[in-house]
Amino acid sequence: MKAGAARTFDVEALRAQFPGLQTTVHGRPLAYLDSASTAQKPAAVLEAIEGVYGGACANVHRGVHTPSARATAAFEHARERVRAFLGAAAREEIIFTHGATSALNLVASAYGGAHVGPEDQVIVSEMEHHSNLVPWQLLCARVGAQLVPWRVEDDGRLELAGLELALARAPRARVVAVTHASNSLGFTNDIAAICRVAHGAGAVVVVDGAQAVAHGPVDVQALGCDFYALSGHKLYGPTGVGALYGRRALLEATPPWQGGGEMILDVELERATYNALPYKFEAGTPNIAGAIGLGAAIDWIERTGLAALAAHERGLLARARARLAELEGVRLVGPQRAVDVDASAPILSLVLEGVHPHDVGTVLDHEGVAVRTGHHCTQPLLRRLGLSATVRASLAVYNTDDELERLARGLARAREMFT
């Protein structure tokens, strides 16, 4: 890190910590602009995972021998790292899952199954990733509840007035499900304000935080949310692991989601007594290496400096938006108002006039630039905007201005080729 009043990045030194970036694609250095899908992993995370499997590998919570005790200590230390990172009140409020999708399914199936009935409603925003939509569809179909949409505005943003309108149509709303930051457009929502409105109507708030936690501080107690889900792999950590924060009182009132080892205290043939939090929701052998790797990713982020990381990304995003605005035929989809741009996650979603997004993505790939194309698991949102797909460039701490220039040149080349 460079010294100074404003802490900035030595980006090249930081990039050297990411083995995945030290590669070429079609003979060109990789410009990885798809971190909203999955982020690259720093060496510290890879070393933590190797340490689990390369040493005396053992299961957690179930052995009196030293390797098991060490594994258990490292696993529970990772839980504490997640707790502190999210600002949760107690480690019992942090449940390890297979990812944000798993966490959201847990809430919908277990909490929703116990607390949402046939006369009730679930409000889901039109901005949601399918992972925070389809589980609620399944719940409503199973119990006979009604799913009520919270519609986005014409530019794709959510307004509190839209939530108030949805609540007026849903007098028995039990849940409001909303994303903290849009994975396809970058809009960041005011979760604290949403919670105040939803709680005033008697609904709990379930937040998909997968796209927010890597780009700025999150304090679940300050936000006031009831559940908050995250994925490790978008947080510079491993795939196949994530976490769910839940308010303790709500978790206590929620039945187990899955049955098996570790989530029980006592089992008879006819009945079982369930374990205490958080283990009630962690049936079977967990992803031990994944959880420890997630803890290592959080350690790496905090050593790097989350505030400095966010400032670097905001600068990149502002310069990228300015550069792409110069290109003929490029239309940015998503935040347009200054207040929304300033709060946006580092995501650029765009269409190139006359060129299909998949063709754009192919051209960019041959230039060594990795972006995402498609509907980004937000089909209702894109349909609302009259689109079937976009090109999405998503930024992270390791990206550079040179990579943004390569993106711009690649877009210009795609337009030349197809128009």
- Catalytic residue positions? 377
* Contacts of 368 by beta carbon, 8 Å cutoff, 6+ apart: 24, 25, 26, 27, 28, 29, 30, 31, 406
User: How many Å separate Cα 183 from the centre of its chain?
Assistant: 8
DSSP E strand boundaries for 74-134? 94-97, 121-125
Q: What tokens appear for 402 in the block? A: 């040179």
* Contacts of 402 by beta carbon, 8 Å cutoff, 6+ apart: 31
Q: Which helix (H) or strand (E) holds 150?
A: strand 146-150
User: How many Å separate Cα 143 from the centre of its chain?
Assistant: 28
**Any idea which residue has 């990172």 for tokens?**
85
- 248, burial (CB in 10 Å: exposed 0-12, middle 13-18, buried 19+): middle
DSSP class of residue 76 equals: H
Distance CA 92, CA 205 (A): 19
Strand partners, 25: 28
Are 93 and 83 in contact by the 8 Å Cβ rule? The answer is yes
Distance CA 415, CA 411 (A): 6
Distance CA 196, CA 31 (A): 41
* 3-class state of residue 97 by DSSP: strand
The CA distances from residue 141 to 114, 117, 145, 377, 409, in Å, are 14, 11, 7, 21, 48
* 3-class state of residue 414 by DSSP: helix
Task: For the beta carbon of residue 307, count every other beta carbon within 10 angstroms.
Answer: 11
